[in-house]
Structure 1
């Protein structure tokens, strides 16, 4: 009997691209003698549940076909099980796939499963949830929540435009307090990103020295609390100059606490999906996820 590989995919990711890619990956694996088990998700949380069930019942590898949200759900579902994960990028930003230098062709993804090396990466933990790229609190998290409240079908970069414009009109930048490894940062901030990678989303670069296997979280805080400064920060992120701005500070740590300074309800996003509201405590789990790389 060949090795068993689960292919978990989000059928609406990439406007149906993930469904097509999943079939091609399955056929390529079967040609190599693997048993490929296709498992489409239907709603948020399915990838996590499926990964957990595969881990309990025995599986040799998992292929995540989708975006960073699908990958983080699968990593969460495997929950430390020593089962390697290959990524077939089919989402909006595909940050972790870019970070790891992964191919996108189905045949190459099948080669990762059959011949790839294992690279153990760190995982961020927020309660029972996990992230592989980043979690944040502030205006971008507000955009994510707003988008998912009205989501219909696949998400593209263009999908975010209307929600960003709405945030520009309505978001009020409530103040937050941040503590890193037990040390309060003092004055309140308007925006916080806790990253596991140096890429963030699309063209944005937040943590200039961030590495997904260094055992540390990279924390970027911005004290500005206005639309003008938010636009300034965004432009600087695209230009990879955000940490050089006044009012922006970067830190590393293993334990981060974020809470509202007042009674505001401040949204959180986790790998591009809604992650509830503050307060949150974020920790790093070093080397928790075995990923297949070339």
Structure 2
């Protein structure tokens, strides 16, 4: 008989504003217990998922599962990067951008059941000043929204929308100097997103043609646009046609340098962070295994 695989579930108890008190019981009902021997750990704050991922490597786990959103995925993926230990995903976040792109079911039971197949895909990782991202990193408007959303008591899509509405009325575009695979650009932009996968989450596609397996990142420059065009901009996002907007420019690249005229917040897979000075961004092809 095949030996059981040791599988660690790393559960973010506050992601997506969803209670997860019955999660362990659900896993024991749905997971193939002949194949897997599950262990459960809850995160207690920032960077804990990363530490649990490192622990899983040391203790010889066969797989680690992120039970949370893109932030939890980012921490665990960063720990497992370059190893042969695959990461599973149970989407429990506010946006679930990477999981939606990979076709992982949003339904908890179906997502747990998907783990039983244990089929993996090798995905690319972006690095921004050596910090990994697997979905999207960005600056400008969306980073300011992420910064505000992180401090909002309301989680989920409603909280995110509320943060976006609060930020947009006062937001001013910034000037950027970019060098993408050796070609220089100067742009005044509402925001710049560097996309490994096509969407932020909730089926809002900023880079419709991005792929996590093509070894390329898509630099999405959203130019200043008149406020009356905002409904059309939102339509493009949800209609997978952002690349057709006259206010959106998408440039693929592997080696990207961005100089900002002034420092401001960034987001990495939806989590706000502070980085000062120039930004050096590159891609590490096929560097993380994901169960999908």
TM-score, length of structure 1 as denominator length: 0.89
Partner SS for 2:199: coil
**Residues 258 and 280 of structure 2 are in contact (CA less than 8 Å); yes or no, is this contact kept in structure 1?**
yes
**Residues 21 and 65 of structure 1 are in contact (CA less than 8 Å); yes or no, is this contact kept in structure 2?**
no
Partner SS for 2:234: helix
Tell me which residue corresponds to 1:9: 11
Question: 1:103-182 residue pairs with structure 2 within 5 A?
Answer: 103-148=105-150, 150-152=151-153, 155-182=155-182
Say if 1:105 and 1:244 are closer, same or farther in 2 by CA, change over 3 A: closer
Q: CA offset at residue 128 of structure 1?
A: 4.0
Deviations 1:208-244 (A, max 9, x none): 2111111110111123166556665334322333222
Structure-2 separation of matches of 1:143 and 1:71: 20
Structure-1 separation of matches of 2:31 and 2:207: 36
Partner SS for 1:285: strand
**Residues 173 and 225 of structure 1 are in contact (CA less than 8 Å); yes or no, is this contact kept in structure 2?**
no
**Residues 32 and 116 of structure 2 are in contact (CA less than 8 Å); yes or no, is this contact kept in structure 1?**
no
Task: Identify the range of structure 1 (60-69 vs 240-249) with the bigger mean alpha-carbon deviation.
Answer: 240-249
1:216 aligns with 2:216: yes
Structure-1 separation of matches of 2:40 and 2:203: 32
Tell me which residue corresponds to 1:274: 272
For structure 1, the 5+ residue unaligned runs are: none
Partner SS for 2:288: strand
Partner SS for 1:189: strand
Task: Identify the range of structure 1 (226-235 vs 113-122) with the bigger mean alpha-carbon deviation.
Answer: 226-235
Tell me which residue corresponds to 1:288: 287
For structure 2, the 5+ residue unaligned runs are: none
Q: CA offset at residue 84 of structure 1?
A: 0.9
Partner SS for 2:103: coil
Deviations 1:187-213 (A, max 9, x none): 443321111112222231111211111
**Residues 30 and 36 of structure 1 are in contact (CA less than 8 Å); yes or no, is this contact kept in structure 2?**
no
Q: CA offset at residue 86 of structure 1?
A: 1.1
**Residues 9 and 19 of structure 1 are in contact (CA less than 8 Å); yes or no, is this contact kept in structure 2?**
no
Structure-2 separation of matches of 1:146 and 1:126: 21
TM-score, length of structure 2 as denominator length: 0.89
More strand by share: 2
Cα RMSD, aligned residues only: 2.3
Structure-1 separation of matches of 2:216 and 2:122: 14
Say if 1:277 and 1:170 are closer, same or farther in 2 by CA, change over 3 A: farther
| Number of equivalenced pairs | 289
